[in-house]
């Protein structure tokens, strides 16, 4: 996005350097990424960075509303309410499409948000390896304002560990060894000393939870939650009998499962501004827009882009039996903003916030970028193309 840096990067790029980058990720973690890593980081100019931060701040203002829990009660599906909800989500992620405004300038448009962690461990590793194997200016950084590596790790420690010893904190997931994000779990354990534990391996005694470490039972006092209930349901037979989290347990959450639903697509209709495409709950729309092709239908309770209808028709709407669980959002046109040797790529930027238990508001900590040359953005798409996939943003100082 910064022409001089982009041109120099493309000219100096070689397939061998890219191969070394990928190999270094595997060597450091023992895991080969199960998703495509892009050949390039994204270099974000100051003007776009300022817009992104301002847009993120505006979204955070909605999350800080004192009536947030009241307006999001309907966001939690029936049977999924978990007791002992804490005061806020320790992690918030906000996704922005990079577009061009009427003046032709790069501008962010809100796509998605979640009260749920992202790849906080892996993104630090990826940025470090981009810097090692490619041409990244020394003064550019992927961290949030005022943070360096030490400050970033300490922020994650406050959010994930809280006041507990690492041995009493686990990363909880559904069959973690089979997840595409396994490499992130390995990075997190290397950084903080917490193991990834499958939900089926938890041991419950009364209200207490335990897991086995080196053959010995260890008390679980805090859960770094990477478990999504839809994933649990999809693998119910393989998991067998598991803990019923709808029962009260003596454990802390980071982030509590209820926040996954409260801070989600459900909030999009409440967010307004030049960076926010119009969005409505489908059941609250008295009349469908005549230009329905300029909108996208999104199910509230899905993840990783599943179920999204990009080019909806009135017939698609009529088929929906639970319109209260869908939103209609104005379509966003991504800009072909990243010049690559094989044609321009579109870009989506995820701002990743940490919110320690003792902090008054979320803190921008890290980012993630996804490059695409197709209709869908995300590491599950464009597999047969190059210069696409997961990436990092380096911000102009």
DSSP 38-91: PSS-EEE-HHHHHHHHHHHHHHHHHHT-TTHHHHTGGGSPTT---SS--SS-SE
**What pLDDT does 381 receive?**
59
Element (DSSP H or E) covering residue 5: helix 3-12
Edge-to-edge strand list for the sheet holding 252-254: 196-198, 169-173, 222-225, 252-254
**What pLDDT does 259 receive?**
97
**What pLDDT does 30 receive?**
98
* Maximal C-alpha separation, the chain: 63
Contacts of 133 (CB under 8 A, 6+ apart): 17, 18, 20, 21, 24
Contact (CB, 8 A) for 47 and 246: no
So where are the chain's domains? 3-277+332-395, 279-331
Distance of CA 272 to the CA centre of its chain: 21
Nearest Cα residue to 253 out of 291, 288, 223: 223
Backbone dihedral region for residue 307 (phi beyond 0: left; psi -120 to 50: alpha; all else: beta): left
**What pLDDT does 25 receive?**
98
Cα–Cα distance for residue pair 313/293, rounded to 1 Å: 7
Cα–Cα distance for residue pair 230/236, rounded to 1 Å: 10
| CA 195 to each of CA 170, 268, 335: distance values in angstroms, whole numbers, following the listed order | 5, 34, 40
Beta strands in the chain (DSSP E): 42-44, 91-100, 106-114, 169-173, 196-198, 203-205, 208-213, 216-220, 222-225, 252-254, 279-281, 295-299, 326-330, 346-354, 363-372, 389-391, 393-395
User: In sequence order, which ranges of 135-207 are alpha helices (DSSP H)?
Assistant: 149-160, 182-192
Per-residue pLDDT of the chain (397 residues; tens, 9 = 90+): 899 999 999 999 999 999 999 999 999 999 999 999 999 999 999 999 999 999 999 999 999 999 999 999 999 988 899 999 999 999 999 999 999 999 999 999 999 999 999 999 999 999 999 999 999 999 999 999 999 999 999 999 999 999 999 999 999 999 999 999 999 999 999 999 999 999 999 999 999 999 999 999 999 999 999 999 889 988 999 999 999 999 999 999 999 999 999 999 999 999 999 999 999 999 999 899 999 999 999 998 776 556 889 889 999 999 999 999 999 999 999 999 999 999 999 999 999 999 999 999 999 999 999 999 986 665 555 667 899 999 999 999 9
- Note if the bond before 255 is cis, omega within 30 degrees: yes
For 312, list phi and psi in degrees, rounded to 5. -70, 150
């Amino acid at each position: 996005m910064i022409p001089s840096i982009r041109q120099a990067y493309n000219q100096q790029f070689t397939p061998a350097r890219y191969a070394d980058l990928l190999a270094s990720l595997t060597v450091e973690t023992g895991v080969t990424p199960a998703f495509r890593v892009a050949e390039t980081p994204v270099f974000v100019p100051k003007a776009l960075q300022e817009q992104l931060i301002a847009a993120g701040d505006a979204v955070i203002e909605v999350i800080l509303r004192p009536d947030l829990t009241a307006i999001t009660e309907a966001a939690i599906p029936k049977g999924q309410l978990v007791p002992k909800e804490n005061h806020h989500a320790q992690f918030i992620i906000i996704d922005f499409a990079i577009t061009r405004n009427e003046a032709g300038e790069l501008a962010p448009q809100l796509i998605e948000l979640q009260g749920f962690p992202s790849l906080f461990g892996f993104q630090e590793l990826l940025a470090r390896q981009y810097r090692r194997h490619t041409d990244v200016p020394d003064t550019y950084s992927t961290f949030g304002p005022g943070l360096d590596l030490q400050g970033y790790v300490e922020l994650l420690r406050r959010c994930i560990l809280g006041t507990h010893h690492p041995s009493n904190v686990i990363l909880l997931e559904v069959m973690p060894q089979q997840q595409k994000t396994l490499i992130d779990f390995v990075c997190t354990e290397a950084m903080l000393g917490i193991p990834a534990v499958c939900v089926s391996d938890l041991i419950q005694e009364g209200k207490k939870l335990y897991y086995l470490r080196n053959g010995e039972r260890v008390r679980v006092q805090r859960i770094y939650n990477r478990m999504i209930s839809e994933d649990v349901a999809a693998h119910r037979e393989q998991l067998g009998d598991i803990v019923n989290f709808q029962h009260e347990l003596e454990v802390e959450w980071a982030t509590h499962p209820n926040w996954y639903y409260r801070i989600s697509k459900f909030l999009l209709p409440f967010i307004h501004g030049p960076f926010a495409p119009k969005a409505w709950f489908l059941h609250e729309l008295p009349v469908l827009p005549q230009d329905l092709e300029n909108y996208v239908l999104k199910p509230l309770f899905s993840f990783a882009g599943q179920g999204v209808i990009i080019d909806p028709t009135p017939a698609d709407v009529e088929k929906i039996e639970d319109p209260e669980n869908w939103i209609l959002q104005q379509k966003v046109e991504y800009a072909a903003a990243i010049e690559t040797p094989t044609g321009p790529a579109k870009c989506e930027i995820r701002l990743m916030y940490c919110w320690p238990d003792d902090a008054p508001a979320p803190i921008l900590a890290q980012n993630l970028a996804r490059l695409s040359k197709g209709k869908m953005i995300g590491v599950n798409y464009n597999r047969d193309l190059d210069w696409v996939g997961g990436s990092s943003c380096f911000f102009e100082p």
